[in-house]
Amino acid sequence: MVCLQYEKSILPNIFVSNRKEIIILLSESRIFISDLAVAVKPFARGELEITTLNDMYLQEGRLNAQFLGRGFTWMDAGTVDSLRCATNFVCMFEQYQGMSISAPEEIAFRYDWITRDQLAASAERYGKSPYGEHLRAVLEDRIVL
């Protein structure tokens, strides 16, 4: 499991750290039926917290935490308003910076997980949409990394 963390606690009344936990689960597929996951108890508001499971993995020495620096942004999108804010941020960033925040096919291509032909097929599938144009730009080496 990899735990990525960044500024300001999501639960400031509980945690003393000034870091926010952003979780990317790269663990065994049985994580949610593991003995650890079954042992997680709800907080007072009745919700389970992934941070509890992370702490259990940490105590067992099975958690790899990495700190993200500048250039990373975490936005909670758990409400309609926060989802709207995150959407606006992504749109603004992509428009003004002229780059895509995330293009799964581009990532797969750059890591050699898919071939040039597969990337071209994806670009074709998206047609003349901005995303399809982005994938074509990747194919033509018009994207500066």
The pLDDT, as a whole number, for residue 64 is 76
The pLDDT, as a whole number, for residue 31 is 53
User: Over the chain (145 residues), what is each successive 10-residue block's mean pLDDT?
Assistant: 41 52 52 68 76 81 77 80 91 88 92 96 95 95 83
Question: Looking at the 3D structure of the chain, how many domains does it have?
Answer: 2
In a domain, 73, yes or no: no
Claim to verify: residue 47 and residue 101 sit in the same structural domain: no
The pLDDT, as a whole number, for residue 116 is 97
- Token pair 């960044």 is found at 6
Instruction: Provide the domain limits for residue 98.
Output: 80-139
Q: Name the β-bridge partners of 24.
A: 2
The Cβ-side half-sphere exposure at 20, using a 13 Å CA radius, reads 12
Which H or E element spans position 37?
helix 35-39
Claim to verify: residue 10 and residue 57 sit in the same structural domain: yes
In a domain, 74, yes or no: no
Q: Cα separation of 26 and 83, whole Å?
A: 24
Backbone torsions φ then ψ of 138, nearest 5 degrees: -65, -45
